Structure 1
Amino acid sequence: MKIQSTKLVYFSPTGTTKAVVEGISRGIDAIELERIDLTKPAARLKPLQTGENDLLVVGVPVYMGRVPEVIQEWLQSIKAQNTPSVCIVVYGNRVYDDALLELKDILAADGCIPMAAGAFIGEHSFSSDETPIAADRPDLRDISQAEAFGRKIKEKLDAILSAEEIGDLNVPGEFPYRGETKLWDVDFIAVSSDCNQCQLCAEVCPVGAIHTENSRLIDPEKCITCCACIKNCPQHARAIKNGPVNDASVRLNTLFKEPKQPELFY
């Protein structure tokens, strides 16, 4: 099957999902490549249309076992015409629950034909030096597996004449989906005196939860606890304060030390 354009779609506040999707794209070795980074709010205002000669690779982080609510409306608005698609979820070494099935169902309802899927591991948003959770994942081995996955996808596309030959894709999960799409409404970020108001945190926030003139002001109702502001602060002036998020990081560090490996489906 001849693919004219490969479109990479990802939501990646801390860069882990982007790293996995980029690894897959290197394996696919597409001639024409378009990247659609949904992390910035402005990107989620532009609709996407795809055709039967496109390949759509969609990667999302797992939030509470689900596809993040902040991008669900955009994903559901994709207009596709028998577009071969690859579904990717990235989770913090706990569980991905029904997120992969949910993403597959969303893309199928859009008019895509899911042909492959993968669940990869990325460093958890709550991970820190004190409570590491899948620290430094995806690592070199993960990226190598992502590239090999991309090569396998290319082989499968080369072996068929049209998307109509793609069979049913089965992935783990239950419907109705478990978990909650609504995230915690909690004030959990401590800002130290080292903050010099460089505003990088406001720039990387995917939901505009940080005041653009005073970065100490954070709207907990908008915040999705992605911790992008903490991980990107050049002064290391932001941290998780004592409370439910810190308690969760301790539990995750204690209960999920054994490194999980990517799971791939064709």
Structure 2
Amino acid sequence: MNYQTLKLVSFSPTGTTEAILNAIAQGFNPGDLITIDITRPKQRSQPLLLATDDILLIGVPVYMGRVPEVIGPWLKTLHATNTPTICVVVYGNRVYDDALLELRDIIIGNGCLPIAAGAFIGEHSFSSSETPIAADRPNPSDLALAESFGRKIKDKLLTHPNPDRNCLISPPGQIPYRGETTLWDVDFIAVSPACNNCQRCSSICPTAAINPQDSRQIDHKKCITCCACIKKCPTQARSIKPGPVHDAANRLHTNFKAPKQPELFY
């Protein structure tokens, strides 16, 4: 099979997953690259149909050790026919638990052939200057490894151009999957007077949880605590207020200081 098109699918509220996938794609150096960003709600309105000569590169952040529940319905619409696939999860230096196995299982059920997978580290969504957690990850070393990973996968396909189910990777994990998929319903975002209601936060929210007319109004039931609105606020008007999310940030900062390294599976 002459694979020409790499379809890159990312759910990446704060950009860390996207950065890793772009580095992998750069190493793979496909004839044609199609980027599909499913981070915003409208971008998840159309299913993805994969051709027989496509390659799929898909990446998601780890939420409580699992694939983010919010993209579950879209993932179920993905349709492929033995499409070689690279699965990637990005986690905030704690653990990725069963997320990589879960992502692999989901896409196998949709007709994909996961031939490679990786668990990379990205700055945790709760990370801040006060409580840094994997700050500035992925770093240059992470991105260089991701690029090398892409080159090796391409070499693998050149050597074995017609993968089948015997080529499927087996990442670590348990079934039933561990971790929690239920969203936190918590009021945790403080908005300071520096907010000028520019609506940047509303436009980037992956669940449309922020009122587009008044960005101080947040639907806590929709919020997935990705903190994209905090990290990308142009006036730095948003922060994590005292409470359970702030407490979790403190625990992560204290207990997971030692830098984890990416894990790759071929």
TM-score (norm. length: structure 1): 0.98
Tell me how far 1:169 sits from its aligned partner: 1.1
| Alpha-carbon distance in 1 for matches of 2:142, 2:85 | 21
Structure 1: 5+ residue runs without aligned partners? none
| Alpha-carbon distance in 2 for matches of 1:256, 1:171 | 22
The aligned length equals: 266
1:118 paired residue number: 118
Question: Is residue 183–residue 221 contact of structure 2 (8 Å, CA) maintained in 1?
Answer: no
TM-score (norm. length: structure 2): 0.98
Tell me how far 1:52 sits from its aligned partner: 2.6
1:185 paired residue number: 185
| Alpha-carbon distance in 2 for matches of 1:179, 1:3 | 36
2:129 paired residue number: 129
| Alpha-carbon distance in 1 for matches of 2:222, 2:161 | 46
SS in 2 for 1:217: coil
- Could you tell me which amino acid in structure 2 is paired with residue 35 of structure 1? T
- Could you tell me which amino acid in structure 2 is paired with residue 41 of structure 1? P
Q: Where do 1:1-266 residues align within 5 Å?
A: 1-164=1-164, 167-266=167-266
- Could you tell me which amino acid in structure 1 is paired with residue 216 of structure 2? R
| Alpha-carbon distance in 1 for matches of 2:186, 2:211 | 16
For each residue in 1:55-82, what CA deviation from the matched residue of structure 2 results, as whole angstroms up to 9, or x when unmatched? 0000000000000001011112111000
SS in 2 for 1:49: coil
Question: Is residue 194–residue 236 contact of structure 2 (8 Å, CA) maintained in 1?
Answer: yes
Tell me how far 1:53 sits from its aligned partner: 1.2
SS in 1 for 2:164: helix
SS in 2 for 1:74: helix
Tell me how far 1:168 sits from its aligned partner: 2.9
- Could you tell me which amino acid in structure 1 is paired with residue 226 of structure 2? C
SS in 2 for 1:19: helix
For each residue in 1:142-163, what CA deviation from the matched residue of structure 2 results, as whole angstroms up to 9, or x when unmatched? 0000000000000001112313
Structure 2: 5+ residue runs without aligned partners? none
| Alpha-carbon distance in 2 for matches of 1:64, 1:108 | 22
- Could you tell me which amino acid in structure 1 is paired with residue 13 of structure 2? P
TM-align CA RMSD: 0.9
For each residue in 1:206-225, what CA deviation from the matched residue of structure 2 results, as whole angstroms up to 9, or x when unmatched? 11000111110001000000
